[in-house]
Amino acid sequence: MGNIRLKSSFLYILFFFAQIANGSSLLLAKHAEQLPRLVIYDPSYRQISYPNGDVPEQYGVCSDVVIRSYRKIGIDLQKLVHEDMKANFRQYPSQRIWGLRKPDTNIDHRRVPNLEAFFSRKGKKKPISKNVSDYIPGDIVSWRLDNGRPHIGVVTSIKSPSTQSYLVMHNIGYGQVAEDVLFRWDIFGHYSY
């Protein structure tokens, strides 16, 4: 009898935490949906404060969509990425891609390959598929564009009427917009955090 109670208590706790995780993912999606649209695409290197630093809100790139969405739910990716890079620098592509020898709080969290490494290490890697139902609000998706450049966005809770796919909030040069782009490019990473 005691084992049955213990097992049902354990299952209840698992269910409770799954609901919290789903709720925070939906909250992330909702915050992404509410980001300002008129943002000038500007990948310039800028010195920013640490922690909770950000480039001026009228500027940004695709990674800033992710960073700003998480910040709205109290998660500072600048700090988290920096701390993990500081302790595990070789697990990140900064030396291989950009020739860096140490972390940089001004830019590391704004680079898609670093976010991919962070979400792979600290979040949950989810399957990459062509199945629309595998991508839910709050998921993070990264791609390689046709020119090979990395790109990233947040899956929103808004469905496309034509494909029934959730729209993705991203910035590819036309502001922070929610578009039906999930399968437009080759998906490189699929995460939840």
| Each residue's pLDDT tens digit, 143-167 | 999 999 999 999 999 999 999 999 9
DSSP 91: G
What's the pLDDT at 24?
81
- How far apart are the C-alpha atoms of 49 and 55, rounded to whole Å? 9
Mean predicted confidence (pLDDT) in 45-56: 97
| Category of 83 on φ-ψ map: left (φ > 0), alpha (ψ -120 to 50) or beta | alpha
Q: State the CATH class of domain 2-74+125-192.
A: alpha beta
The answer to whether 57 and 74 are in contact (CB under 8 A) is: no
